[in-house]
Amino acid sequence: MTDMVIELDAQGGRHLYEQIYDYVRQEIREGRLSCGERLPSTRSLAEFLQVSRSTVDLAYEQLLSEGYIEARPYKGFFVCRIEGLYDLQRVQEEQKERTEYERPHFRFDFSPNVIEPEGFPLGVWKRIVRETLIDENRELYTRGNPQGDIGLREAICHYLHTSRGVNCLPEQIVLGAGNDYLLLLLEKILGGGRIVALENPTYKRAWQIFGTFAWERVSVPLDESGMRPDKLRESGADLAYVMPSHQFPTGVIMPIGRRMELLRWALEKEGRYLIEDDYDSEFRYRGRPIPSLQASDAAGRVIYIGTFSKALSPAIRISYMVLPGELLAGYRERCGFFSSTVSRVDQAVLNVLIRDGAFERHLNKMRKIYKSRHDCLLECCKRYLKNIRISGENAGLHLILHYHGEKTEEELLRQAADKEVRIYGMSETYIGRLPENWQPALILGYAGLDEDELRAGVRLLSDCI
Amino acid sequence: MTDMVIELDAQGGRHLYEQIYDYVRQEIREGRLSCGERLPSTRSLAEFLQVSRSTVDLAYEQLLSEGYIEARPYKGFFVCRIEGLYDLQRVQEEQKERTEYERPHFRFDFSPNVIEPEGFPLGVWKRIVRETLIDENRELYTRGNPQGDIGLREAICHYLHTSRGVNCLPEQIVLGAGNDYLLLLLEKILGGGRIVALENPTYKRAWQIFGTFAWERVSVPLDESGMRPDKLRESGADLAYVMPSHQFPTGVIMPIGRRMELLRWALEKEGRYLIEDDYDSEFRYRGRPIPSLQASDAAGRVIYIGTFSKALSPAIRISYMVLPGELLAGYRERCGFFSSTVSRVDQAVLNVLIRDGAFERHLNKMRKIYKSRHDCLLECCKRYLKNIRISGENAGLHLILHYHGEKTEEELLRQAADKEVRIYGMSETYIGRLPENWQPALILGYAGLDEDELRAGVRLLSDCI
């Protein structure tokens, strides 16, 4: 038995028992105390170190808990057999650089996927948060319903009915922290081995997400009414992911006739569903909102997904999925044990925001702002840019510029980037080969830039387009 | 061409164009205007109805957008061919009753999965929220990094290093809205066809969640040091999900020797990983915290998962996963496009909470409260209950009562329920058959009940145990 010459520091911040524990642990890890060796008894070590016996007891107990030593009755404490104990002067070989999704600098970014951050209704949100974070609401700090709070689901149910014609009960609504998460749940609900059809071109992130599923993906071409039912049939798909009210990126609105055709397709075989992504339906600047596809679905074949990311902020992670009644049992069985991903405080605040009308007022305000930006961008493009035809107006948060000049899409993007303007090529929204007779086209989002910026950005673009 | 006798209500809240749109749409949907029929010209209808022409234009435009009518150049507007248009006097057949995860009433619920809701540091959280929701932080309302905000990841990185010995860089941390979500991501990162081994008994929800994966599950028995490596080898698993610092439900602390054995198992074959769920490691009432398994892993074989649900509140949906460097490329490729599920405001608030020391102070306070409850429950059980042996003390938020009387576990649970006391049977945490010589055992959580409630609850139990 070795002597334990431990230099104890009674003044330091560390407990004496911790210092003893550290010393012995280090001796074992570095092989100076080896397997089977007996440790001094707690009494003798306490005397030797001039500390109380309970201090040594505590140190030994910790070593016991962690498995460095073992107690043999009537015999004392012994170092355990620990194979392969290597000390970890861990060198962090991983690249230290922060690649971290950084992008080159642009003065004007016409991204179709951002919204105006100044638009977030901070004042009213803050007021409701203040009213929500009170002692009377302690219930909020418990786990909550996996589908989301029933109060908020009721508010969303009513909102969807009046604004989007969606017919559902709060029981059919599942809240989640973003559409991506809800799609992950959907994979579990619908099970593996599915074939999902997406419009071509489409929202590329949905394509990527489905790519992580135990599903097959197929792309189905669009015509001027949306996804082609003949090609959908040929594809062998049993699920179709569509954006009927404002297709991304084309802006195509699916007419009622095509909607009925797709619903008929879904009804032809057991287990077929349409996944309706109603991603930016709040923003339409002429006439009434286009009703949802779910509103025309009497047979429970539409899974409806929407989000508050565009209407409120992508930072508030709340999306909703409306499941057909038929899928509810499957949801409860296969996903009912997943904890909700949505912050309960955010749920409570959003509930009040919708119920007291502040959400509707916020939407009206943003619609006005985005309509002005839409009009401004449209006018600037018509005025300053050559060789273009514009489509996808009057709704959403972006325009499409069809280009019939001599440059390639890549050249246009690069020349814009040289001017520190970021625009987006529509070819990137296609799956696989581009259509025959493809002409370059550009996607210009206007939600993240104010009118001065839009004007300045388009003027810079006029040098290359 | 039929006459359009539309009764317009100029006083009502609805726009005139909407009333015209509604009328025509309804005529089409109910078959009174049929496919191919020509509509009156906008001029003649405007004259007939005594409204401005732009009102009719707007109504027709909406009908065009939604695909009810089509415009034929030089000829006018015609009703579209819409097959299968059925009107939807949708009867909501779904059960109206709100099953909604309701539970029978209990006066005292010894759930091991709840924490003290009064413990949430509402005052300081509120203050930080107030300081965070300000105009200068507008950047917060944009999308944010998919892995979580770098500031918070740095704070967590430092916290994990000092409190749990975890060695990592902020780049290795992925934040998510709960452990369940992080496990979903992990399925995508590690790919299908895996075999995951869980301790038996285990945390049943993890077992259920893995059950939704394209993985196989196996259960591996525990001994007094944790998961048995011989049985793990036999199982053919390439992943092992373990809780080394405080196994649920047994409370077993995996000694350093066993940890090394498991790490060796992981190193024997390419692609093997240990998933360490460090679910309640903050709560240990004697000695120092047990270091994490990740702290002993020099080779990058441990995927470390932890949560703020127990320490702060299950309502704040923030968990973290530390990926070995080797898995980062796979994460970025297969999951880098998934939007973060965590509210950015919550991330910002938690970041401040950790950095200014309030989180540590909160933990110390809760540790004190839970230690008192632990001591109180322990004492009451020893005093009032018969035929029991207690295990799993000094850490976590629950105790195990091994029962060696004559009743079955089911009888004990039922008799407790008759007294309106909810206790939990340990047999439910087993996968498959119970071990030979199984004796009933009960799980009693103490985090959700104060000392008076614990005392009263145990007294009620003393009638049946």
Compute the nearest-CA separation of B225 from chain A (Å).
Answer: 9
Containing B253, the helix (H) or strand (E) segment is none
Contact: A258, B61; criterion CB under 8 Å: no
Q: Where are the domains of chain B?
A: 1-100, 108-117+361-462, 120-359
Q: Which of B62, B209, B335 sits opposite A287 (nearest CB)?
A: B62
Compute the nearest-CA separation of A407 from chain B (Å).
Answer: 30
* B residues 57..116 contacting A (CB < 8 A): 58, 61-62, 65-68, 80-86, 88, 90, 92-96, 98, 100-101, 113-114
Mean pLDDT on B192-208: 96
| pLDDT band at residue B85 under the 50/70/90 scheme | low
* A residues 198..217 contacting B (CB < 8 A): 205, 208-209, 212, 214
Containing A42, the helix (H) or strand (E) segment is helix A42-49
Residues B87, B82: Cα–Cα separation, whole Å: 12
Closest residue in chain A to residue B261, using alpha carbons only: A83
Stated length of chain B: 465
At A324-383, the pLDDT tens digits run: 999 999 999 999 999 999 999 999 999 999 998 999 999 999 999 999 999 999 999 999
Retrieve residue B103's tokens: 């539970």
Stated length of chain A: 465
Mean pLDDT on B234-250: 96
Determine how many CB atoms are found less than 10 A away from the CB of residue B12.
Answer: 10
Mean pLDDT of chain B: 90
Q: Which of B142, B205, B253 sits opposite A65 (nearest CB)?
A: B253
Q: Are strands A216-223 and A388-391 parallel, antiparallel or unpaired?
A: unpaired
Q: Which residues of chain B neighbour A80 with C-beta distances below 8 Å?
A: 255-257
Residues near B111 by Cβ (< 8 Å), separated by ≥ 6? B422, B424, B445, B448
* B residues 378..407 contacting A (CB < 8 A): none
Contact: A255, B138; criterion CB under 8 Å: no
Closest residue in chain A to residue B192, using alpha carbons only: A214
pLDDT at A156: 96
Residues near A73 by Cβ (< 8 Å), separated by ≥ 6? none
Contact between A391 and A400 (Cβ < 8 Å): yes
Pick the more confident residue, B257 or A97. Answer: B257
At A96-138, the pLDDT tens digits run: 333 334 456 799 999 999 898 888 999 999 999 999 999 888 8
Compute the nearest-CA separation of B94 from chain A (Å).
Answer: 6
Sheet strand arrangement including A388-391: A388-391, A398-403, A441-445, A424-425
Extended strands (E) in B147-279: 173-176, 195-200, 216-223, 226-227, 239-242, 273-277
- What are the two backbone dihedrals, phi and then psi, of residue B389, each rounded to the nearest 5 degrees? -125, 135
CATH 1.10.10.10 fits B1-100, yes or no: yes
Most confident of A31-35, A278-282, A425-429: A425-429
Q: Which residues of chain A neighbour B167 with C-beta distances below 8 Å?
A: 88, 90, 92
Q: Is pLDDT above 50 for B91?
A: no
Determine how many CB atoms are found less than 10 A away from the CB of residue A161.
Answer: 13
CA atoms within 13 A on the CB side of A212: 29
Q: Which residues of chain A neighbour B341 with C-beta distances below 8 Å?
A: 176-178, 180-181, 317, 341
* A residues 240..269 contacting B (CB < 8 A): 253-261, 263-264
Contact between A290 and A253 (Cβ < 8 Å): yes
* A residues 116..175 contacting B (CB < 8 A): 117-118, 120, 122, 125-126, 129-130, 133-135, 138-146, 150, 167, 169, 171-172
| pLDDT band at residue B33 under the 50/70/90 scheme | confident
pLDDT at B299: 93
At B356-378, the pLDDT tens digits run: 899 999 999 999 999 999 999 99
Retrieve residue A399's tokens: 């325009």
At B324-367, the pLDDT tens digits run: 999 999 999 999 999 999 999 999 999 999 998 999 999 999 99
Mean pLDDT on A13-40: 85
Chain A contact present for B313, CB below 8 A: yes
Give, in degrees to the nearest 5, the angle at Cα A208 between A202 and A210. 95
Residues near A328 by Cβ (< 8 Å), separated by ≥ 6? A171, A172, B94
Residues near B35 by Cβ (< 8 Å), separated by ≥ 6? B79, B80, B81, B82
* DSSP string computed for B415-452: HHHHTTEE-EEGGGG--SSPPTT---EEEEE-TTS-HH
| pLDDT band at residue B453 under the 50/70/90 scheme | very high
| pLDDT band at residue A95 under the 50/70/90 scheme | very low
The sign one gets for the Cα dihedral B25, B31, B36, B38 is negative
Q: Which of A66, A80, A346 sits opposite B343 (nearest CB)?
A: A346
Contact: A120, B141; criterion CB under 8 Å: yes
Mean pLDDT on B245-252: 94
Interface test with A, best of B22, B24, B66 (most A CBs within 10 A): B66
Contact: A84, B263; criterion CB under 8 Å: yes
Contact between A129 and B133 (Cβ < 8 Å): yes
Q: Which residues of chain B neighbour A131 with C-beta distances below 8 Å?
A: none
Q: Is the backbone of residue A405 left (phi > 0), alpha (psi -120 to 50) or beta?
A: beta
Retrieve residue A305's tokens: 């997904």
Contact between B306 and B283 (Cβ < 8 Å): no
| pLDDT band at residue A146 under the 50/70/90 scheme | very high
Retrieve residue A381's tokens: 């493009």
Interface test with A, best of B28, B29, B65 (most A CBs within 10 A): B65
* B residues 4..33 contacting A (CB < 8 A): 17-18, 21
Q: Which residue, A441, A429, A422, is CA-closest to A103?
A: A422
Q: Which of A84, A144, A287 sits opposite B58 (nearest CB)?
A: A287
- What are the two backbone dihedrals, phi and then psi, of residue A456, each rounded to the nearest 5 degrees? -65, -40
Q: Which residues of chain A neighbour B296 with C-beta distances below 8 Å?
A: 88
Chain B contact present for A340, CB below 8 A: yes
| pLDDT band at residue B87 under the 50/70/90 scheme | very low
Contact: B82, A260; criterion CB under 8 Å: yes
Retrieve residue A348's tokens: 């409570």
Give the type of residue at B239.
L
Determine how many CB atoms are found less than 10 A away from the CB of residue A44.
Answer: 15
Chain A contact present for B363, CB below 8 A: no
Contact: A261, B100; criterion CB under 8 Å: no
Matching residue, tokens 């839970």: B370
| Eight-class DSSP state of A359 | H
Q: Which residues of chain A neighbour B80 with C-beta distances below 8 Å?
A: 255-257
State how far Cα A349 lies from the chain centre.
20
Residue A4, helix vs strand vs coil: coil
Compute the nearest-CA separation of B180 from chain A (Å).
Answer: 6
Q: Is the backbone of residue A396 left (phi > 0), alpha (psi -120 to 50) or beta?
A: left
Retrieve residue B460's tokens: 């009620």
> b/e for A310-327, b at 16 or more Cβ within 10 A?
bbbbbbbbbbbbbbbeeb
Residues B359, B312: Cα–Cα separation, whole Å: 8
What is A120-359's CATH number?
Answer: 3.40.640.10
Q: Which of B117, B169, B254 sits opposite A141 (nearest CB)?
A: B117
User: Looking at this predicted complex, what is its ipTM?
Assistant: 0.83
Contact: B146, A101; criterion CB under 8 Å: yes
Contact: A67, B205; criterion CB under 8 Å: no
Containing B18, the helix (H) or strand (E) segment is helix B16-29
Contact: B141, A314; criterion CB under 8 Å: yes
Percentage with pLDDT > 70 across chain A? 95
Contact: A290, B83; criterion CB under 8 Å: no
Closest residue in chain B to residue A85, using alpha carbons only: B260
Containing A196, the helix (H) or strand (E) segment is strand A195-200
| pLDDT band at residue B84 under the 50/70/90 scheme | low
pLDDT at B3: 66
Contact: B298, A88; criterion CB under 8 Å: yes
Contact: B94, A263; criterion CB under 8 Å: no
Interface test with A, best of B14, B98, B141 (most A CBs within 10 A): B141
| Eight-class DSSP state of B395 | B
What is B108-117+361-462's CATH number?
Answer: 3.90.1150.10
At A251-271, the pLDDT tens digits run: 999 999 999 999 999 999 999
Residues B40, B38: Cα–Cα separation, whole Å: 7
